[in-house]
Amino acid sequence: MVVAAEQIRNLNKYERSILLALERGMKRYSWVPLEHLRAATKLSESEVNYRLSRLIAWGMVRFNPVPYDGYALVFGGYDTLALTALTQKGTLSALGSLIGEGKESVVYEALSLGPVAIKFHRVGQRSFSSARINREYMEEGHCPWLVASKKSAEREYLALKTLHPVVSVPLPIAQNRHAVVMSLVDGGVLNRTPLETPEKTLDEILENVRKAYAAGVIHSDLSEYNILVENGRCVLIDWPQWIGTDHPNAEAIAGRDIDNILAFFRRKYKIRRDREVALQWVIG
């Protein structure tokens, strides 16, 4: 859950400096030593301890006493840094209610010049080892959850910028740390949305997959769970795991995406399409 807006508004400049110092320090440490925080912020020990106690109470920082007194930024603190930066830039003016939650992200409604969505990536909050294995863009060595989540957000934002508006994806607006701001899609998930013309919808999805492939992008995790239907139009979402068409396994991975979509329409609407014909049409 994102930290309460009131706590973000009440954040003292010293507390923000500690959050920033933790963010930098976690590139070197799993648990940032108290001495490092004192040196980085140039605050007294009593001041640092007081501010840390508040940040811990607000769910922004975690403390670990073994083998030394160390502190780590957790998602509440990382959310706070991202929201503060986006607000200062004028990208966001308010945060709304939760509208979606997946294995590695949460999505909130927010307000910019109009309604938007903000997606906070949460890579590894359930299984970081699995995330490291399954994401080829993860670096070897020390890569804490927060860094991995930032990389995930950067990749999704790059995919959206590459594909929009040729492919039906949300409009990318901004990205900061592990957060991506995009246009709000007012629609339901494909697997829970009754379709009046399922054949036409299947054609539309395959056409968008084909256009993405032509742009050099393969979703690599496409299914009925990350396609939204807005006023009869399909919108493909959740792009952090995309790969390029120059990947050595590009055809197989594109085929897996198509398999998932064809299986859904076959199961729910009894529509049968030849898998090889669909794949060859997509990859051209």
Closest CA to 119 of 145, 98, 148: 98
Cα-Cα-Cα-Cα dihedral of 128, 130, 134, 139, to 10°?
A: 40
Burial bucket for residue 141 (CB in 10 Å: 0-12, 13-18, 19+): exposed
Task: Determine the Cα–Cα distance for residues 192 and 186; give it in Å rounded to an integer.
Answer: 14
Beta pairing partners, 115: 111
Cα separation of 99 and 44, whole Å?
Answer: 42
Contact 131, 104 (CB under 8 A): yes
Helices 13-25 and 34-41 cross at an angle (nearest 10°) of 120
Helix (H) or strand (E) holding 258: helix 250-269
How far apart (Å, rounded) are the C-alpha atoms in residues 70 and 248? Answer: 42
Polymer length of the chain: 284
Number of Cβ atoms within 10 Å of the Cβ of 14:
15
Between the CA of residue 67 and those of 63, 71, 86, 134, what are the distances in Å? 12, 12, 36, 31
Q: Which residues are catalytic?
A: 221
Tokens linked to 12: 């003292």
